[in-house]
Every structure is written in C-alpha cells, then in structure tokens.
Amino acid sequence: MKKYFIRLCLLALVFSLVAGVVDAQTTTPKKKTTRKVGGAANKKKATQKNQAAATAAVAPQDTTKPALIIPDADIKLDTIRRSLRNDAIIERNLVKDRTPLPYEHIREDDAVYRQRLWEEIDVHEKQNLPFVYRAVEDNGSQIFVNILLQAVKSGQITAFDATVDDRFTTPMTFKQISENLVAKPHVIQVPDYDKDPDGSKGLMKDTLIQEIFSADIIERYLIKEEWVFDKQSSRLHVRILGIAPEKAVKNPDGSLRTVTPVFWVYYPDLRPMLAKFEAYNGKNYGARMSWEEFFEARMFGARIVRSTIDNPGDAYINQYIHDPILQLLEGQNIHEKIFNYEQDLWSY
C-alpha cells in the first residue's frame, strides 16, 4: 500500500513539472521600451521634409519664356519746345491775340438756295504745299495733320468717326485714331544672333514690331461745305462744315490704291485754334496769314468729288463716272451750275 502511494506522488510531481515547462514555452517575453524625449516631433519634421522633397521631384518645371507685353497703338507726337529767346527781330504778338471773326447770321427764310459740296485737297499740288510745311515753331509742328492730331490729343477739339458718317454723330478717341493710322503692334519670330551667331542652330526669338506714324501717309483732305444764297444781303456765302484727313492705302508694289478718311473735325469748333497757327507763304515769310484766314479766303486748290446737285443717289462722282478726266470736268460743271444760278439772279 505504501508502495502505491509513493508512485502516485511521483506521478503528480512529474505532471506538475511538465505543465510548468509548457506554460513557460507558450508565454511571450515582454520587451523593455525606452521613451525618447522629442521623438514624435523629430519624426513629424522628417515626414514633412520627405513629402516636400517628393513634391519638388514630381512637380513639373515651368520652362516657358515670359510673354511680351504688347502695347496699344499710339502716335508719338513731338513735344512742343518753346524758344527761350525771341526767335525773330520783331515782337510777334499778333498770332497770340488772333481770334476769328464771327460768321454773319443767315436766317432760314432768307436762304433761298443751298447746295452741299464735298471737295478734295491734294497736298501734292503746288498751291497746297502749306499743308505739308515741315517746320517746328513755338506752337509745335506746322504740318497740318500734326496740328489736328495735337488738338485732338489735348482735348481742344473732338474728332468724329469717318467710317460711320460725315454728320459728326460718333466721337472718336485718340487711341482709335492711332489704331487707324498705324497698325497695332505685333510679335514676330526673328533669328537670335546673340545665342546663335552663325544661325546653324536655328534659334529664334520674339521681337515686337511697332510702326511709327509719318505725316506722309496723309495725302489728301476732304472738305464738307455748303453754298448758300442769302436774299437779304444778295450774297452767295460758302461755309466749311468739316475737314477730314485722308490716308493713302497702297498696293504691295507701292502704287496708290485708294484714299480713305480717318476722322472728321467740326470746322466751326476748329476756327479759334487755327487762328493761332500761321500758314506758310513761300513768296513772303513775313506776310503770313493764319490757317483760319487761309480757309476763309479759300487759298487752297480743290476738286469737287460729290455734291447734292442732281444726285438723288447721294453718290460720289467716281461711282458713276469712271474716267478721271471726265470726273474733273464733272466737278467743274457742278461749280459752274452754282455760279450761273447766282449770275442769273441779276439783270444787267
């Protein structure tokens, strides 16, 4: 009996030892963790730095050239430079004090005869050379178109759009006039000889092309006027209503294709300003009249290009007469009709 009891005790001891070894093998040992000061902050900074580097590597680089800034079309007029000394042997104060004489009033009931004419002044004719007098005085350039442009730019007079009508209905800005007289600046590609002197690489660069205004482009002036017979004074009056410079439009070979009006100016508004400018006199430099007197005395040479006489279609002469010589003769015929009307009113 004692022998069986010892065996049971030994068997229980063996089972307890086996259970302890199995439990020790299945349990994972715990690792000792060490906490570092500032570890999270350093880890965040490293992450941000890596992200920035990755973004810089992935983002495309902008290799395009900066675009050229294209300015608006503009007419560069000369700056008015006044003489600091008296540029003459006499005191010339009459020009500063000139004012145009007011027109004689004509009652509507007394205007028994009215005709409207459009005349064209060619600056190449010898009589019209004052329109292209190339001189600079205290009031600026003496070329007639430069006088008009300077007055429009300074706001002394108002320009009206000639492409709409000739009744002074649509004002124009100086910028619009500039775009009409000179082409808008544009960019072209030219060889880049700085980086490619011999042109072997074929490198090109952008170049801004901007035209410079020249008064030579204005070859004619269109004048709108009315001829009125006043029965009270028994006189035939002629009054200019407007003036329009006409620019030349040429063919690729340089020949003249046509002329077209650029803008209209209302002549009664223009008279006070024209009284301050003197027209060129090739025979006597001292006996010069103002531009206002020049127009009122009709010292220019012109040809009639349109009229209201027997013209229900309101057409220009060149629209129904194609021969240039016959166009001149038709203009003279229109002038004779007005002259004969006045002469037929008198008895001799």
Regarding predicted confidence, which is higher, 56 or 238?
238
Compute the distance between CA of residue 29 and CA of residue 344 in angstroms, rounded to an integer.
138
Residue 87: is its pLDDT beyond 90?
Answer: no
Give the pLDDT confidence score for residue 287 in this predicted structure.
84
105-114, 209-218, 259-268: range with lowest mean pLDDT: 209-218
Average model confidence (pLDDT) for the chain?
84
Q: Could you tell me if 318 and 343 are in contact, meaning their C-beta atoms sit under 8 angstroms apart?
A: no
Per cent of the chain over pLDDT 90 is 54
Stretch 88-96: mean pLDDT, rounded?
Answer: 79
Give the pLDDT confidence score for residue 304 in this predicted structure.
97
Stretch 167-179: mean pLDDT, rounded?
Answer: 94
65-69, 203-207, 325-329: range with lowest mean pLDDT: 65-69
Q: Which of 180, 207, 175 is nearest to 191 (CA)?
A: 207
Is there a domain that residue 336 lies in? no
Give the pLDDT confidence score for residue 45 in this predicted structure.
58
Read off the tokens for 116.
């409207």
Read off the tokens for 56.
């810089």
Range of the domain at 124: 109-183+213-301
Give the pLDDT confidence score for residue 136 in this predicted structure.
92
Residue with the two structure tokens 């009031």: 139
Is there a domain that residue 138 lies in? yes
Half-sphere exposure of 93 (CA within 13 A, CB side): 1
Number of domains in the chain: 1
Stretch 214-237: mean pLDDT, rounded?
Answer: 95
Residues 6+ apart with CB under 8 A from 56: none
Give the pLDDT confidence score for residue 134 in this predicted structure.
93
Stretch 221-239: mean pLDDT, rounded?
Answer: 96
Is there a domain that residue 64 lies in? no
Give the pLDDT confidence score for residue 31 in this predicted structure.
47
Regarding predicted confidence, which is higher, 197 or 117?
117
Is there a domain that residue 169 lies in? yes
Stretch 258-273: mean pLDDT, rounded?
Answer: 95
Residue 5: is its pLDDT beyond 90?
Answer: no
Is there a domain that residue 79 lies in? no
18-22, 119-123, 133-137, 247-251 — most confident range: 119-123
Give the pLDDT confidence score for residue 61 in this predicted structure.
42
Is there a domain that residue 287 lies in? yes
Residue 21: is its pLDDT beyond 80?
Answer: no
pLDDT in tens, 102-149: 999 999 999 999 999 999 999 999 999 999 999 999 889 999 999 999
Give the pLDDT confidence score for residue 270 in this predicted structure.
96
Is there a domain that residue 264 lies in? yes
Stretch 232-253: mean pLDDT, rounded?
Answer: 93
66-80, 168-182, 287-301, 334-348: range with lowest mean pLDDT: 66-80
pLDDT in tens, 26-77: 554 444 444 444 455 555 555 665 665 554 444 444 444 566 676 677 788 8
Banded model confidence at residue 19, pLDDT cuts 50, 70, 90: low
Give the pLDDT confidence score for residue 122 in this predicted structure.
96
Is there a domain that residue 292 lies in? yes
Compute the distance between CA of residue 225 and CA of residue 242 in angstroms, rounded to an integer.
7
Give the pLDDT confidence score for residue 20 in this predicted structure.
59
